[in-house]
Amino acid sequence: MSRSELRKRIEEKSLILRRDIIRMTGEAGSGHPGGSLSAADIVSTLYFYQLRHRPAEPKWRERDRFVLSKGHVAPVLYAALAESGYFSRDILWTLRKMGSILQGHPDMKKVPGVEISSGSLGQGLAVANGIALGGKLDQLDYRVYVLIGDGESQEGIVWEAAMFAAHYKLDNVTAILDYNGLQIDGTVSEVMEIRPIVDKWRAFGWHVIEIDGHNVLAIIDAFAEANTIKEKPTMIVAHTVKGKGVSFMENAIDFHGKAPTKEQMKEALKELGEVDC
């Protein structure tokens, strides 16, 4: 498959994820669409290109692991898992409903393919480090990918985990920073500045790659580069747009944690090319 064909295939998957995110949160009347949309290209590239995984065998010992540290963007993970075949797509429309396995944050005990229950911000990298170190001790060659939010990066535990990964030379850890610049209380810069973020991660002993988080080929190349790095973990700083793909959601703080109304859902789905909505 050529690079242009690969890009087209993954972009088509990203579009499916975005539509599902809108429909899920719209039907639920709650959820976090903004950050789910900003992460769609990253998650799509992971699940439909990068990850070594078996949907029919979720606990396959040699699988690569994905940890969603920013657990509130569960819709993008659920959409990727359903599209991969971990569970029926019909279950997506039960998001946040009584009795559903799809809670507002991922539950590893209920949802096939979810590695870690997450939602308490800042903990994902520490968990990913433990999984990665375990893999090395067991002499397994799986890789661990962890998606971190920029607002989440204000948590102290993130930096303790950053030191740990560098100290133990966890070159099987690749973290991705979904750097969309917005969090629930405002801009990241206003709430607590994290810049110069690239310099900080390098100072903590990480190999750092900076990319456009919506450029599928750039994401693919970043993962490939991370695979070549030895004795260092890798951080991919992915510049993204909150609400990417839906005009009235892009760079709109309100949609960090507010679902679209029924009318907004229809409008968004039309923008995303869905005709039957």
Mean per-residue pLDDT of the chain: 97
pLDDT in tens, 95-128: 999 999 999 999 999 999 999 999 899 999 999 9
Residue 87 pLDDT: 98
pLDDT at residue 158 is higher than 70: yes
Residue 8 pLDDT: 98
CATH architecture classification, 3-271: 3-Layer(aba) Sandwich (3.40)
Residue 60 pLDDT: 98
Q: What confidence category does residue 150 fall into, taking pLDDT thresholds of 50, 70 and 90?
A: very high
Residue 1 pLDDT: 86
pLDDT at residue 275 is higher than 80: no
Cβ-proximal residues to 8 (8 Å cutoff; 6+ apart), any chain: none
Give how far Cα 40 sits from Cα of 148, 156, 178, 190, Å.
13, 26, 10, 25
Host H or E run for residue 28: helix 3-28
Give how far Cα 162 sits from Cα of 19, 129, 148, 204, 223, Å.
34, 9, 12, 7, 19
Residue 86 pLDDT: 98
Mean pLDDT, residues 184-204 taken together:
97
Half-sphere exposure of 7 (CA within 13 A, CB side): 10
Mean pLDDT, residues 140-164 taken together:
98
Residue 23 pLDDT: 98
pLDDT at residue 276 is higher than 80: no
Largest CA distance in the chain: 52
Domain range annotation of the chain: 3-271
Q: What confidence category does residue 277 fall into, taking pLDDT thresholds of 50, 70 and 90?
A: low
Cα 83 from Cα 105, distance rounded (Å): 18
pLDDT at residue 249 is higher than 90: yes
High-pLDDT (> 70) share of the chain, %: 99
